[in-house]
Amino acid sequence: MGGLLRRAIRATAVAGALLGGACSATRVSPPVPTGPSYQARLEAADTLVRAGCLDCLAAAHREYRALRADHPDLDKAIAGEVRAAALIDIRERELGLLSSGSLMSAREAATGSTAARLSFSNVLDVVAELRLGPDGARPSTDEQVAAMLRFATNRTEWASLLRETAPQEPLASYAWLGFACDSLNARSIAANEVRSFMGDAPSALLTFGYLASCERGQSEALALLLDYDPRFVEANYLIGLADLGQRPQPDVDAADRRFRRAYEWRQDWPALTLSMANLALATEDYDRALQFFDRTLALKPSDGDSLVGTIHALTQLGRYQDALVTVEALLTTGRNLGEARYWRAFNENQIGRYQAAWSDVLMAASLLINAQVPKLAGIIAYRRADLEVARRQLDDARGRNRNDCEVGFYLHMVLADRREWSRTAEIASETGRCFDEWEGRLRENIAALRESNGEPARVARQVARRKDQIATNARMRVTAWFNTAVAMFNLGRHAEARTFAMKVLDDEQFGDRARALLPRLRE
């Protein structure tokens, strides 16, 4: 497919000039148009459609409308207007842009010509049902789920319509790509048939449509298309997504550069602003993440993913009260209820509202199944001095994820308070080793960041956070070591107690207590 895409991109021609009019040499001359002829303008608009970039389609749509205003009976202009408007609608949904109402414009334009109405009516019905872009790929609202069911019910009929219409109509060919590459058609439409209506040298329009719907990960082909025609600014977004999908390591800096270029072009783009926010969140730039979650919510109010991201960013910034306000906004949407209850409990716990936190974490447990919920429940129960409940919850969390050192830390604290010395010694010593291993991974990560030639500000920020985590972990580890020594002493295992007491002799918090313990230990 790579060769076909390259041939398609290189074969694409973009109109460079419009034709001029000729003047009559007769003695009495009527007014003569000074601009290009209707035919030249129509051909130029058609060329813009084949060029395929969103700005090209918008320019073509404006020209078709102008032609129709001057020549109401010009069927070709009406057909062009319908086609361009419907293609704009598809592109907006492919990219996750705000809708400009172009599909409605296409339907309205089609009523202006019997020929257009007959040619486009059924195709526009299919276009309206295409599951495109971020919203189509991951249906979450009742409306999107209903659309998925309609798609599954009618896909055989729609496939026949598009197969019949695509050879003659570019809109049907483009719609076919979005239809055929829908995940619901993965087993029923072969890859060679998906490309069957593109031809040997497809237009840039169809090339982009194939990449957007069928091969989003082909960043090289998208970059080649953008290099050939810089008007495909929207390709930067898809290339950025492909950069994030690189394995074994996503190229976050390359993705950030692509997203910034796309954002310079268009700001009314909630899928892009959400991607930028999530990228900032993943690279621990919480202020920037919050900024772009806010921008997404300004474009798409009550968006569940943006609200969850906002809560996460605010929590990381220590703005617990603001996070709780955002949780309330999330709860009013009726979506992400498990996450809403979890984050409300988490932030309530941070500000000492333990009873409210306990109620919310129990509700989260009824909605989510993961290791984080029982971990939080155990921590809250410990702070409420409900040691038996805390032990059960933390044991549950540890059974789900034994690599979470913090679970071991809180569990051994609970066990120590319950004077369960055998399990305290076991869990505390394992927790100390867990923190040793975690520190090793963090230091390896710091070294990799410094050697990565990544964006300096990002590298410095992420290195600093890992150093902070090492310092935080060190305090928990020394606590686990001292409690191991105490547990071993109470079990009469004095040699092992001495080993762990020696580890904390220089610690400001536990050094004096460890030195007081040493004389009580038999050799």
Least confident of 7-16, 35-44, 146-155: 7-16
341-353 pLDDT, tens digit each = 999 999 999 999 9
Distance CA 293, CA 280 (A): 10
Residue 120 lies in a domain: yes
Longest dimension (CA), the chain: 126
In contact, 510 and 478? CB cutoff 8 Å: yes
The mean pLDDT of the chain is 89
Residue 387 lies in a domain: no
pLDDT at 508 over 70: yes
Tell me the three state secondary structure of residue 279.
helix
Q: Which residue has the higher pLDDT, 516 or 31?
A: 516
Residue 318 lies in a domain: no
Least confident of 63-72, 150-159, 339-348: 150-159
Residue ranges making up the domain that contains 175: 1-11+35-210
239, 212, 210, 245: which is closest to 1 by C-alpha? 210
For every residue of 46-86, DSSP letters joined together read HHHHHH--HHHHHHHHHHHHHHHHH-TT-HHHHHHHHHHHH
What are residue 521's phi and psi, to 5 degrees? -95, 125
Q: Which of 210, 231, 266 is the last residue of a domain?
A: 210
Q: Which residue has the higher pLDDT, 521 or 433?
A: 433
402-414 pLDDT, tens digit each = 999 999 999 999 9
Least confident of 4-8, 142-146, 386-390, 431-435: 4-8
Band (pLDDT 50/70/90 cuts) for residue 21 is very low
For every residue of 407-427, DSSP letters joined together read HHHHHHHHHHHTT-HHHHHHH
Q: Which of 178, 210, 242 is the last residue of a domain?
A: 210
Tally of CB atoms within 10 A around 392:
16
The reported pLDDT for the residue numbered 18 is: 23
How many domains does the chain divide into?
Answer: 2
Residue 501 lies in a domain: yes
Band (pLDDT 50/70/90 cuts) for residue 502 is very high
Band (pLDDT 50/70/90 cuts) for residue 15 is very low
The arithmetic mean of pLDDT across residues 109-119, rounded, is 85
230, 225, 229: which is closest to 242 by C-alpha? 225
Q: Considering the chain, what percentage of its residues have pLDDT values greater than 90?
A: 74
The reported pLDDT for the residue numbered 16 is: 30
Residue whose tokens read 């410990």: 382
Band (pLDDT 50/70/90 cuts) for residue 195 is confident
Residue 281 lies in a domain: no
Residue 276 lies in a domain: no
Distance CA 226, CA 204 (A): 10
Q: Which of 210, 236, 268 is the last residue of a domain?
A: 210
Per-residue b or e along 338-364, where b marks 16 or more CB atoms closer than 10 Å to that residue's CB: bbbbbbbbbbbbeeebbebbbbbbebb
pLDDT at 302 over 80: yes
Residue 483 lies in a domain: yes
Residue 279 lies in a domain: no
Band (pLDDT 50/70/90 cuts) for residue 5 is low
